[in-house]
Amino acid sequence: MHEMALTRSVVDMVAARTTGRRVSRVRLEVGALAGVVPDAMRFCFDLACLGTDLEGADLDIVEVPSRLACATCGATSSCPDRVLLCPCGSADVAIVQGEELRVLSVDMRKEEACA
């Protein structure tokens, strides 16, 4: 399951950017054609966060549908899998949406004030 390696990479990247601050939420954007199973990433997230400043954080995944642009007919269409064909039958298409795998935002925990 490569989702564990991907999730661990996301956790390491966020931890490196938020050094010493506790993270409460990570929001990811995952495209339908990114080759990632969002439910598997959710499953791996808590394990990947153990022992880091992200431990106990929530993971929100925004799933992005795929979109193709056809150079032959000019249409845009969805693409449910990696068979990159326009409904007109042309394979002269470009993926314009759906390969995303990026961190959208990171929320920090509010630290309690000392008395």
| Contact of 36 with 63, CB cutoff 8 Å | no
- Can you name the residues that pair with 101 across neighbouring β-strands? 30
Mean pLDDT, contiguous 10-residue spans, the chain (115 residues): 90 94 96 93 96 95 96 94 92 96 94 55
Residue 28 near residue 42 (C-beta atoms within 8 A)? no
CATH T-level fold of 2-65+98-108: hypothetical protein PF0899 fold (3.30.2320)
Q: Give the Cα separation of 14 and 12 in Å (integer).
A: 6
Identify any residues that bridge with 95 across adjacent strands, giving them in sequence order. 68
DSSP-derived secondary structure letter, 79: -
pLDDT value of position 1: 60
pTM of the model: 0.83
Q: pLDDT value at position 80?
A: 84
Give residue 102's Cα distance to chain centre: 5
Map residue 71 onto helix, strand or coil: coil
Handedness of CA 28, 32, 34, 39 (dihedral sign): positive
Q: What are the structural domain ranges in the chain?
A: 2-65+98-108
